[in-house]
């Protein structure tokens, strides 16, 4: 099973992923926790380029291609082998992020992005995606408090982050079966209980399908 978490900056993805990975491990599932950009050694090197505030000159097109390159490596080196080994893979961001950030945020062509995602993922799509929905100002505030500094993308304008947020909501509307919107203004444990109850249903559905 392949689960992804999406949302704007500081929406609580890392916090929820850590809780979820612990809960699944306690329930004797084998879990692979990963993230984008990065996830693989080569992907982590690409991540450095993408997030370094020093790389102000990085063009929108170069940025798009680097996210795709990181994903292509991540899928082939980490995600597919883990799924083949029967693990539950949880990724902090995946292809929806490119649609939201480079498509809606940077206004790059959505048809091109979908095609590029298809190539990068080799057609792999998550079984379930949690979209943590939080007003962007709150998220940016949380991110800057927790890390003390903002990366290259976080330094973008509020309008940019608002376009990303709108993008995520538009993507979620198109695929309500896969993408579950979670109100991320709630306390951490309330959010987690919501995620866990959705996931339990999904796991039992997958088990039923598998048994038949
Ligand atoms: N990006 C892109 O443009 N295109 C792509 O294709 C991909 C990514 C894949 C990756 O950054 C950047 O790359 C990202 C999108 C772009 N943009 N930026 N910047 P990243 O991986 O370093 O950062 P992030 O994904 O934005 O995550 P984050 O800032 O680390 O936030 P988070 O993981 O969602 O939140 P958190 O670390 O769990 O929580 C943040 C703080 O809030 C922390 O102090 C928590 O204790 C606190 N928190 C968490 N939940 C709550 C609740 N419920 N209440 C109160 N406080 C809370």
Higher pLDDT, 146 or 166: 166
The pLDDT of residue 203 is above 80: yes
The model's pTM: 0.96
- In the DSSP assignment, the letter for residue 184 is T
Atom of ligand 1 nearest to the CA of 11: 34
DSSP for 14-77 reads: HHHHHHHHHHHHHTT--EEEEESS-SSHHHHHHHHHHH-TT-TT--HHHHHHHHHHHHHHHIII
Mutation to probe ligand 1, out of 107, 143, 160 (largest number of atoms < 8 A from CB): 143
What percent of the chain is modeled with pLDDT above 90?
Answer: 88
Distance of CA 14 from the midpoint of ligand 1 (Å):
7
CB 72 within 8 A of CB 119: yes
What are the tokens at 101? 């950030």
- Measured CA to CA in angstroms, residue 158 lies from 9, 13, 205 at distances of 11, 20, 40
pLDDT per residue as tens digits for the range 69-110: 999 999 999 999 999 999 999 999 999 999 999 999 999 999
Cβ atoms < 10 Å from Cβ of 150: 15
**pLDDT confidence bin for 6, thresholds 50/70/90:** very high
49-58, 107-116, 138-147, 165-174: the lowest-pLDDT one: 138-147
**pLDDT confidence bin for 209, thresholds 50/70/90:** confident
Q: Quick one: pLDDT at residue 155? A: 85
Mutation to probe ligand 1, out of 4, 5, 9 (largest number of atoms < 8 A from CB): 9
- In the DSSP assignment, the letter for residue 85 is T
**pLDDT confidence bin for 207, thresholds 50/70/90:** confident
CATH of domain 2-211: 3.40.50.300
Mean predicted confidence (pLDDT) in 120-142? 97
Q: Quick one: pLDDT at residue 204? A: 84
Q: Quick one: pLDDT at residue 117? A: 98
d(CA 159, CA 181) in angstroms, rounded, equals 21
pLDDT per residue as tens digits for the range 9-42: 999 999 999 999 999 999 999 999 999 999 999 9
Distance of CA 9 from the midpoint of ligand 1 (Å):
4
């Amino acid at each position: 099973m392949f689960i992804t978490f999406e949302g704007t900056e500081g929406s609580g993805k890392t916090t929820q992923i850590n809780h979820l990975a612990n809960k699944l491990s306690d329930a004797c599932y084998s879990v692979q926790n990963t993230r984008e950009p990065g996830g693989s050694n080569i992907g982590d090197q690409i991540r450095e380029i993408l997030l370094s505030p020093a790389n102000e000159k990085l063009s929108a097109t170069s940025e798009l291609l680097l996210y795709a390159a990181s994903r292509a490596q991540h899928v082939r080196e980490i995600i597919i082998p883990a799924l083949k080994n029967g693990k539950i893979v949880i990724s902090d961001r995946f292809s929806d992020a490119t649609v939201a950030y480079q498509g809606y945020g940077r206004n790059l062509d959505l048809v091109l992005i979908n095609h590029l995602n298809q190539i990068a993922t080799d057609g792999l799509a998550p079984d379930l995606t949690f979209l943590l929905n939080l007003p962007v100002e709150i998220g940016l505030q949380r991110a800057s408090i927790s890390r003390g500094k903002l990366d290259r993308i976080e330094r973008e304008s509020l309008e940019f982050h608002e376009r990303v947020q709108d993008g995520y909501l538009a993507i979620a509307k198109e695929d309500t079966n896969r993408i579950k919107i979670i109100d991320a203004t709630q306390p951490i444990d309330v959010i987690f209980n919501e995620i866990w109850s959705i996931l339990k249903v999904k796991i039992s559905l997958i088990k039923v399908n598998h048994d038949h």
